[in-house]
A = this chain, B = another copy of it.
Amino acid sequence: MRGVVMHAPGDVRVEDREDPTIVEPTDAILRLTATCICGSDLWPYRGAEPVDHQVMGHEYVGVVEAIGSDVRNVQVGDFVVGSFWASDNTCEICEAGYQAYCVHRVLMGTVGTQAEKVRVPLADGTLVATPGQPDADLIPSLLAASDVLGTGWFAAVAAEAGPGRTVAVVGDGAVGLLAVLAAKQLGAERIIAMSRHADRQALAREFGATDVVEERGDAGVARIKELTGGLGAHSVVEAVGTQESMMQAIRSTRPGGHVGFVGVSHDVSLPGEEMFGAGIHLHGGPAPVRRFLPELVRLIWDREIDPGKVFDLTLPLEDAAAGYEAMDQRRATKVLLTL
């Protein structure tokens, strides 16, 4: 089969790779319908994380082609969505809703879903089947549920977005935009998108943003304070992962408020004295997408949300390298790869 391999920073190739096979009786093999490139794939692409001939991709939707002898919850022929962490969904950590920390977890990035087929470990716990074969126009949204929507949703939940709350979102990438959508679905009263790109501002407004703030850093914080009677937002989503964005999120939050952070932290250090003084709640990390998948699939299936709109470039898998380049150069927010 064909699949993406990142040889080195900036060097993405589509190559022949071995077809996956059932290894464990709890595995499933999927023939993928679509996959995509994640903002976090840009960290190794830009040399900010080590990379050496690594298979890539952790987002996926597709049709079950084979199942191991212990798999019960999905059947051959089912159309399925899964999280970027495979999880048993039965351990104590999973039952508490933290499937990204399942005691048996497997990172799908190590399997590499930018490919024609993929082996999904712990298929019963990981995969959620749609009610039937989806219409083609639903594919991007179902694919988004696999990570970028699930991550934005978790960020909004971690920030305790909800009725009566003002939610600010730091970061206008796909995750930030979908955190806006999530905050809207969760009933937030006011949603402030922090963005300086006209196209992303427009999508943020479409997803439910009531205000847009273009300022960053301290000026961004001052603007959020201005918009919230000097107090700061109740809920702030951090979806970037830098020192500046993290401090911007923390400082934009009122005492007693909540920061949900999902940007993969790089060279971030949180000053203890400021954290002590801030009085905020901080929660985040890799999203336990599986917790939210059944509800997200239902919302998409019923056409109540359209998160697939974050994909603004669609390419065949063979052109993955061009997709990485477009995201790296910010010509695209999120690239869908077709198969």
Q: How far is the CB of A160 from chain B (nearest CB, A)?
A: 11
Given that A93-B231, A270-B270 are contacting pairs, would A276 and B282 also be in contact in the complex, using a CB cutoff of 8 Å? Answer: no
B280 contacts A283, CB within 8 Å? yes
Contact B255 A101 (CB under 8 A): yes
Please tell me if the beta carbons of B261 and A270 are within 8 angstroms of each other in the complex.
no
The smallest beta-carbon distance between A263 and chain B, in angstroms, is: 8
* A96-B256, A101-B255, A256-B93 known; A281-B279 Cβ under 8 A: no
In the assembled complex, the Cα of A97 lies from the Cα of B254 at a distance in Å of: 12
B286 near A256 with CB under 8 A, answer no
Is A16 positioned at the interface, with any CB of B under 8 Å from its CB?
no
Asked if A265 CB lies within 8 Å of chain B CBs, one says yes
Q: Is the CB of B282 within 8 A of A282?
A: yes
**A321 CB to closest chain B CB, in angstroms?**
28
Q: Report whether A269 and B272 are in contact in the complex, using a CB–CB cutoff of 8 Å.
A: yes
How far, in Å, is A104 (CB) from chain B's closest CB?
Answer: 12
| Contact residues, A120-175 vs B (CB, 8 A) | none
Q: How far is the CB of A108 from chain B (nearest CB, A)?
A: 17
Distance from A132 Cβ to chain B, minimum over Cβ atoms (Å): 33
Chain B residues, CB < 8 A from A280 = 283
Per the 8 Å Cβ criterion, residues 221-278 of A in contact with B are: 229-231, 241, 243, 246, 254-256, 261, 264-273, 275-278
What's the dominant secondary structure at chain A's contact region? mixed
Q: Is there contact, CB below 8 Å, between B267 and A93?
A: no
Task: Tell me the smallest distance from the CB of A156 to a CB of chain B, in Å.
Answer: 15
Knowing A101-B255, A256-B96, say if A283 contacts B285 (CB, 8 Å).
no
Contact with A284, one of B265, B270, B276 (Cβ below 8 angstroms):
B276
A283 to chain B, nearest CB (A): 4
Q: Which residues of B contact A301 (CB under 8 A)?
A: none
Q: Does A311 contact B (CB under 8 A)?
A: no
Question: Is B282 in contact with A273, judged by CB distance below 8 angstroms?
Answer: no
Within 8 A of B (CB), among A86-139: 92-93, 96-98, 100-101, 103
Question: A88 → chain B, closest Cβ, in Å?
Answer: 14
- Residue of B98, B246, B275, B281 near A255 (CB, 8 A) is B98
Contact call A273/B266, Cβ cutoff below 8 A: yes
Q: Do B275 and A270 have beta carbons less than 8 Å apart?
A: yes
Check B279 against A275 for contact (C-beta < 8 Å). no
Q: Would you call B273 and A265 a contact (CB within 8 A)?
A: yes
